[in-house]
Chains A and B, each alone.
Chain A
Amino acid sequence: MKPFTAFESRLVPLPSNNIDTDQIIPARFLKTTSKEGLDKQLFCDWRYDAQGNPKPDFILNTPRGQNARILLAGDNFGCGSSREHAPWALTQFGFRAVISTSFADIFKGNSLKNSLLPIVVSHEIHTKLFALPEDAKVKVDLATQTLTLPDGERVEFPVDQFMKTCLLEGIDELGWILKQAPAIAAFEKARVGAINTGL
């Protein structure tokens, strides 16, 4: 994993609550055995019409949706399924952070494992961000856990300290877990009542 560095970007607003993972990437695209090529399927059914032509009024099809790194979404973003294809599609499209007032648990965990930063802000800041002009840029600094708004206001956001270290230093979670192999082996030795799926 590449270390997560500070960046500045315009915002891509999607002002809907409860945007679920079936909207982020519809289930019919989950038949793939690869992680690649999912950017074209991001928000597919909002983005393209029945003939597969881009819908001109959908934000990702407008200049505002291009080359921006931050998605600004309504409450409870990423609810629904456990598909990691959702953060894969978002990052492949170019997003590095999603700002909302809350995130679904599994989506949040999946995002952090893919260097996509879920940023929780208050309703007040959320409303303020939606009201920013199109070309306004916001700075995201994970090290200081702050968003810097165009007027200079600095907004702190929470992040799990372990995941923060992993992101900033590019540490791979599985590598960390595998270092605990002796503790895992000791735990297994003391277990009773384990099943055996091979029987």
Chain B
Amino acid sequence: MSGNPKTLSQKVWDAHVVHEEPGAPSLLYIDLHLVHEVTSPQAFQGLRDRGLKVRRPDLTIATTDHSIPTTDRSLPIVDPIAAKQVAQLEQNCRDFGIPCYGMHSEHQGIVHVIGPELGLTQPGMTVVCGDSHTATHGAVGALAFGIGTSEVENVLASQCLLQRPSKTFRVQVNGSLRTGVTAKDIILALIAQIGIGGGTGCVLEYSGPAIRALDMEGRMTVCNMSIEAGARAGMIAPDDTTFQYLHGRHFVPKGADWDAAVARWRKLPTDDSAKFDREVVINGDVLEPMITWGTNPGMGISINKPIPQPSSADDPLERESLAKALAYMGLEPGKPLAGHAVNVVFIGSCTNSRLSDLRSAAAILKGRKVNPNVRVMVVPGSMEVKRQAEAEGLPEIFRAAGCDWREPGCSMCIAMNGDQLQPGQYSVSTSNRNFEGRQGKGGRTFLASPLTAAASAITGVVTDVRTLL
């Protein structure tokens, strides 16, 4: 390798700089632009107002995920505002020539599930979407980050963004995870450690034996929640696990092109002597199932540890924030969360709705019954995940246990589509955000892994899955 040693993210960045001039940010080329119904309509309107076209519809793809119902797809959308938004996306895609996997497409799904699934997201790419969980695609070694609607418009019009480089931040996860501990627990533990703003201004690179041992879907779960630590993106260097996952997927190169691509991708991992701006080390050997008790994803604890006391914080505003979170959640500090009653369990979202997530939940639920006080929704991440789950008989396991098996979408992660908590209800959710009202006004969310969610569904209380194994 010639020149200065570089990190993975620096290599991808450097390969995409189109133009640089003094006093201006870099003009960065975008290889893939993922579009959905919520953050794009105003951007398309902006193009119309300026009389602009989409520069590269062939590097752009759209799907509907946030606003659509997860009930019977043969029925029209009941909510007229959501129906209009979905129709607007489809119209915009027709008008501007963008391929769209709409509500009735066999490829429809959560945008961050279908990207890797179809092989759209590949190592070394720059990937953007008007959605903060775009970091998910970093699991394949792409530099992937969320953007606002003005930037959606910029990318539609120019295929470029004005960006300043982020700081580099290595998260080394050593050791190996114990039974009952998953990728979700790694990322919840990281966010609890560095805080919800701990990664601001940074691209995280996850490395170490515990990361290498994860399958691709687990890596996606880790990268997905990088934004919950405030990071711009999260990445994992591509390796044989990555290449095996990608090989044969629809949009991935074939034949000699595949070999050439793999040869390029093998040069992406961080150079041995490259320096990171920041580093943390996590001992994977001692991680336990994690769960959040509060109103941001940094308020997480090992499932059997007590909820922290606000007085443990040094800063007065932080003490006030902890007390406010406890009041909203209706919880007492000093007690463990395990054993707390649960009303709803949600298994889904761009964090944990892939086949391996559904398999792990089904393994716990198989031959058991959901507690009668709990409503359980299982929402596959895409039509493809749904088909694969059906081929394995997973819906029968979920239904026999008393779960509701639904159509793909963001669903109760963001509660835009009618799938929501009632005020005061508690959920154990495999999603990514526990902000006040995130899953429905007044709803209260405990974030956890699919294993913890399934275990809590059976007992009706927050449960350490290891007691059921």
Contact = CB atoms under 8 A, between A and B. Distances in A.
Interface in B290-331: 296, 298, 317-318, 320-321, 324
A85 B158 CA distance: 22
B435 A197 contact: no
Given A16-B324, A20-B435, A79-B197, A31 B82 contact: yes
B148 A33 contact: no
A63 interface: no
Contacts of B287: none
Contacts of B146: 81-82, 106
A31 B85 contact: yes
Contacts of B423: 50
Contact of A184 (B159, B164, B200, B414): B159
Interface in B322-373: 324
B415 A28 contact: yes
A76 B151 contact: no
B178 interface: no
A160 B41 CA distance: 28
Nearest to B265: A193
Interface footprint category on B = 35 or more
A50 B23 CA distance: 49
B324 A23 contact: no
Given A76-B230, A197-B99, A31 B158 contact: no
A26 B441 CA distance: 9
B58 A196 contact: yes
Interface residues on A, range: 35 or more
A31 B67 contact: yes
Interface SS of chain A: loop
Contacts of A114: 150
Interface string B25-43: 1010101100000110110
A146 interface: no
Interface string A102-124: 10111001100110000000000
A95 to B, nearest CB: 17
B79 interface: yes
Contacts, number: 206
A34 B149 CA distance: 11
Nearest to B128: A82
B159 A193 contact: no
Nearest to A26: B437
A68 to B, nearest CB: 20
Interface string A71-112: 000111001111110000000000000000010111001100
B132 A82 contact: yes
B214 interface: no
A33 B85 contact: yes
Interface string A2-43: 000000000000011110101100111011111100000000
Interface in B168-186: none
B96 interface: no
Interface in A141-199: 160-162, 165, 173-174, 176-178, 180-181, 183-184, 187-188, 191-199
A180 to B, nearest CB: 5
A105 B201 contact: yes
Interface in B222-274: 227, 230, 232, 251, 253, 257, 260-261, 264
A107 B415 CA distance: 21
B58 A82 contact: no
B415 A33 contact: no
A27 B88 contact: no
Given A33-B41, A106-B148, A82 B415 contact: no
A105 B135 CA distance: 13
B73 interface: no
B454 interface: no
Given A113-B148, A197-B59, A75 B66 contact: no
B132 A18 contact: no
B282 interface: no
Nearest to B118: A197
B149 to A, nearest CB: 4
A59 B357 CA distance: 43
Given A84-B150, A178-B157, A18 B197 contact: yes
Contacts of A76: 196-197, 200, 230
B289 interface: no
B6 interface: no
B438 A27 contact: yes
B122 to A, nearest CB: 7
B37 to A, nearest CB: 9
Interface string B151-166: 1011001111010100
23 contacts: A20-B435, A23-B437, A26-B441, A27-B416, A28-B415, A30-B416, A31-B79, A45-B436, A45-B437, A76-B200, A79-B197, A83-B148, A84-B148, A102-B197, A106-B147, A165-B23, A174-B150, A177-B162, A193-B253, A193-B260, A195-B59, A197-B57, A197-B61
Interface of B: 18-19, 23-25, 27, 29, 31-32, 38-39, 41-42, 45-46, 50, 52, 55-61, 66-67, 79, 81-82, 84-85, 88, 98-99, 120, 122, 130-132, 146-151, 153-154, 157-160, 162, 164, 196-197, 200-201, 227, 230, 232, 251, 253, 257, 260-261, 264, 296, 298, 317-318, 320-321, 324, 414-416, 423, 433, 435-438, 441-442
Rank and list the top 5 A-B pairs by shortest CB-CB distance, nearest first. Answer: A110-B148, A33-B41, A76-B197, A84-B148, A82-B146
